[in-house]
Amino acid sequence: MPMYELFYWPSIQGRGELVRLALEEAGAKYVDVARTDGGMAAMMKVLGGAGPSLTPFAPPFLKSGSLVIAQTANILMYLGERHGLAPKSDAGRFGANQLGNTVADLFAEVHDTHHPIASDLYYEDQKTEAKQRAAAFIAKRMPKFLGYLEGVLEKNGGRFMIGRRLSYVDLSVFQVIAGLSYAFPRAMKRAGGRCKGLHALHDRVASRPRVAAYLASERRIPFNEDGIFRRYPELDRAR
């Protein structure tokens, strides 16, 4: 019997990827439910309020025994406590969650670069506005987030985002760098010099044995244009 059931959209990395990375690094047994037969129906049932647990607002959510936990940063905090993927002190656990929430905010802003008007409209129907929002994101918000995260890493000694060993925050920063580099290669090339520490952290995380095995497996869904990080060249820097 699996330790965890993860519920997330089956064809994208999206927010669920932050949870997958934590589960993989922890060496936890889990089923990615919506990628199994009948899994989508099971996911929709929980989202519809079935069962006695607190209903999730949206995927991802994680079943652990009788617990159903939603909201990415919240799931990460839960897994961090259980698998030694977060510091144990108050400063450490609230600090890790602070950074987890900040990464969640960044993900939401990246999503809105291609969907600035409405999630349920096609990209093509909000492309003009997307270009404006993406330009503002690349010019101001992306450098602000990256500069902030780089500063946090430096202040903590350059090796880990928080504490003295790997935490879920480092795994999430790996995904931030991977995702932004996929979606905005030209802007990231330009920003590269100002976040060398984050790139080095990305590479260290990618080469950890469990993460490397995961990235090479079919469990890692490739980036694509249905997820949070989408490569639409017209939204990237012109050069």
Which residues contribute to the site for its own copies (CB under 8 A)? Answer: 49, 53-57, 66-67, 69-71, 73-74, 77-78, 90-91, 94-95, 97-99, 101-102, 104-105, 108, 112, 116-121, 129, 132-133, 136, 140-141, 145, 148, 151-152, 155, 162
How many Cα atoms sit within 13 Å of 69 on the Cβ side? 18
In the bound state with its own copies, the residue whose beta carbon lies nearer, of 67 and 213, is 67
Cα(231)–Cα(110) distance, integer angstroms? 11
In the bound state with its own copies, the residue whose beta carbon lies nearer, of 2 and 49, is 49
Contact (Cβ atoms closer than 8 angstroms) between residue 27 and residue 210: yes
Cα(91)–Cα(39) distance, integer angstroms? 38
What is the nearest approach in angstroms of its own copies to the Cβ of residue 132?
5
What is the nearest approach in angstroms of its own copies to the Cβ of residue 204?
21
Q: Are strands 30-32 and 4-7 parallel, antiparallel or unpaired?
A: parallel
What is the nearest approach in angstroms of its own copies to the Cβ of residue 184?
16
- Residue 89 phi/psi, 5-degree rounding, is -65, 165
In the bound state with its own copies, the residue whose beta carbon lies nearer, of 102 and 223, is 102
Cα(96)–Cα(115) distance, integer angstroms? 28
In the bound state with its own copies, the residue whose beta carbon lies nearer, of 148 and 214, is 148
Contact (Cβ atoms closer than 8 angstroms) between residue 147 and residue 192: no
Sequence-distant (≥ 6) Cβ neighbours of residue 100 within 8 angstroms: 72, 73, 76, 77, 168, 169, 172
In the bound state with its own copies, the residue whose beta carbon lies nearer, of 43 and 99, is 99
Cα(41)–Cα(34) distance, integer angstroms? 8
In the bound state with its own copies, the residue whose beta carbon lies nearer, of 40 and 135, is 135
What is the nearest approach in angstroms of its own copies to the Cβ of residue 75?
8
What is the nearest approach in angstroms of its own copies to the Cβ of residue 23?
16
Cβ atoms < 10 Å from Cβ of 122: 9
What is the nearest approach in angstroms of its own copies to the Cβ of residue 173?
13
